[in-house]
A = this chain, B = another copy of it.
Amino acid sequence: MTGDSAEAEGTRWLTPEELEAWMALAAMLFKLPGVLDYQLQRDSGLTHFEYVVMAGLSETPDHARRMSDLAGFANGSLSRLSHVVKRLEKRGFVVRRPDAEDGRITVAELTDAGYEQLVAAAPGHVATVREYVIDVLTPEQLRQLKAIGDQVHRKVDPGRPC
């Protein structure tokens, strides 16, 4: 679909430069998740999403956080989070309890075993991020990447501070 045909006249096709940028982004989009999941799965038995969820819990002072908050942090749906937390609970990495003040709210809390698992997984994960992303880019490119990512993210998901 290169836009050289005459149908759909109203369509603004991508210029060659735009296409190149999009293809480069798309290739990252397709490949990076697999690389991250593969390393974490192999070395720590965790999905990248599971890792992010547990990391989100570890960020708070009491290693606990309500579900919808956590879902936002991990960029996933509440349903997805619910399934994942149930699995993590079954594995003993997390516990769930209703909030004392508002019974609708569920609070997920990282167990000690979960925290240890996260601490054990972190170095390998960070090394992978470094190897495939950070260390192949210059500091200037990292700045650019942050700006680009923020702008796209803001467009995709407007209702958020960031």
**Which residues in A have some Cβ–Cβ distance to B below 8 Å?**
1-3, 5, 7-8, 10-14, 17-18, 20-33, 35, 52, 55, 58-59, 74-76, 118-119, 122-123, 126-127, 129-134, 136-137, 139, 141-157, 162
Contact = CB atoms under 8 A, between A and B. Distances in A.
Nearest to A58: B1
Given A126-B1, A132-B155, A136-B152, A146 B20 contact: yes
23 contacts: A2-B59, A5-B119, A13-B126, A14-B129, A17-B143, A18-B134, A18-B142, A21-B146, A22-B129, A22-B133, A24-B145, A24-B147, A24-B148, A24-B149, A24-B150, A26-B52, A28-B149, A29-B29, A29-B33, A30-B76, A35-B156, A133-B152, A137-B148
A145 B25 contact: yes
A139 B1 CA distance: 22
A133 to B, nearest CB: 6
Given A21-B134, A21-B142, A35-B156, 11 more contacts: A1-B58, A1-B118, A13-B126, A17-B142, A22-B129, A23-B149, A24-B150, A25-B145, A28-B29, A28-B156, A136-B154
